Amino acid sequence: MPTFTTRDRTDIYYKDWGNKTGPVVTFSHGWPLNSDNWDSQAFFLASKGYRVIAHDRRGHGRSSQPWEGNNMNTYADDLYQLFEALDLRDVTMVGHSTGGGEVARFVGLFGTERVKKAVLIASVPPVMVQSAINAEGTPLAVFDSFREAMIGDRAQFFLDVPSGPFFGFNRSGAKVSQGLINSWWQQGMMASFKGSYDCIKQFSETDFSEDLKKMTIPTLVLHGDDDQVVPIQASGLKSVELLPQGTLKIYPGGPHALPNICAEQVNKDLLEFLES
């Protein structure tokens, strides 16, 4: 099982698939999941000759579960250390949900020397939480309820989320996949309780506005207009206005889980963007 160890002695698990000399694509996953949630995209691109790197964020999946360091700056630093360890260059970075915030913060902290393109899918930037200057955001009370639900019964909460808004299975006429629900639950329960608890604050309250402005590379924003977790009005529509070279593609009726529910179209859009 490939891992590398960060400066603070945290072991980070990663997958390294495909052509080792091919163009590099990295994938940053959402909360509270891990790199397995990218398997459709990773397999597709690796089969097309790309080198695909997908890691489990600290506190998630098969990576270590440290008590400290569960914050966006450290997440980005861990990923940069992986770039250094594998000497990754000319990378296209792809992030979903919280992972999109990780990509933005990575560029905000470390620039674009190793990055040539980025893709933000149903991602949390610029900032999720509602405030006086972000009226379209989600009230803090919603994220407080996430924390309360975790403490009360994490196992049930991690069934309720994928059974409802994450995949859009609560919508009339939705084709429900019990397999996807089970997979989400399994990935979530693999995560550190402390790590996934801390991450709620990170994905909801971190302001990525200045990071987006520093993303002076072609950046594709994919977002569903029926995203119940990260509503497009407070995220995708605002992000593209801050990105120097941003392009927005809206998925009509698309839920938050675009890489799963709309996997075929996401794969097609990623390949087209990579080859453009």
What stretch of H or E contains 117? Answer: strand 115-121
Radius of gyration for the alpha carbons in the chain, expressed in angstroms and rounded: 17
**Best CA proximity match to 212, nearest among 82, 123, 129, 137:** 123
Q: Give the pLDDT of residue 167.
A: 98
Which tens digits make up the pLDDT trace of 24-72?
A: 999 999 999 999 999 999 999 999 999 999 999 999 999 999 999 999 9
Asked about 227 being catalytic, the answer comes back as yes
% helix, strand, coil for the chain, step of 5: 45, 20, 35
Q: Which of 55, 227, 235, 269 is catalytic?
A: 227
Strands 115-121 and 91-96 come out as: parallel
Place of tokens 């084709």: 175
pLDDT at 1 over 90: no
| Angle at 112 (CA atoms; ends 108, 115), nearest 5 degrees | 120
pLDDT at 105 over 80: yes
**Whole-prediction pTM:** 0.97
Instruction: State which amino acid sits at residue 25.
Output: V
What stretch of H or E contains 156? Answer: helix 140-163
**Mean pLDDT of the residues in the chain:** 97
Q: Residue 238 — very low, low, confident or very high, per pLDDT cuts 50/70/90? A: very high
DSSP state at residue 131: B
Domains of the chain: 3-275 (3.40.50.1820)
DSSP state at residue 91: E
Which tens digits make up the pLDDT trace of 175-214?
A: 999 999 999 999 999 999 999 999 999 999 999 999 999 9
pLDDT at 261 over 80: yes
Q: Give the pLDDT of residue 250.
A: 98
Asked about 28 being catalytic, the answer comes back as no
Number of H helices, E strands in the chain: 10, 8
- What is the spatial order of strands in the sheet that 115-121 belongs to? 3-5, 11-18, 51-55, 24-28, 91-96, 115-121, 219-224, 246-251
Instruction: State which amino acid sits at residue 148.
Output: E
Q: Give the pLDDT of residue 182.
A: 98
Q: Give the pLDDT of residue 240.
A: 98
**Cα–Cα distance, 125 to 135 (Å, whole number):** 15
Q: Give the pLDDT of residue 204.
A: 97
Asked about 276 being catalytic, the answer comes back as no
Which tens digits make up the pLDDT trace of 70-101?
A: 999 999 999 999 999 999 999 999 999 999 99
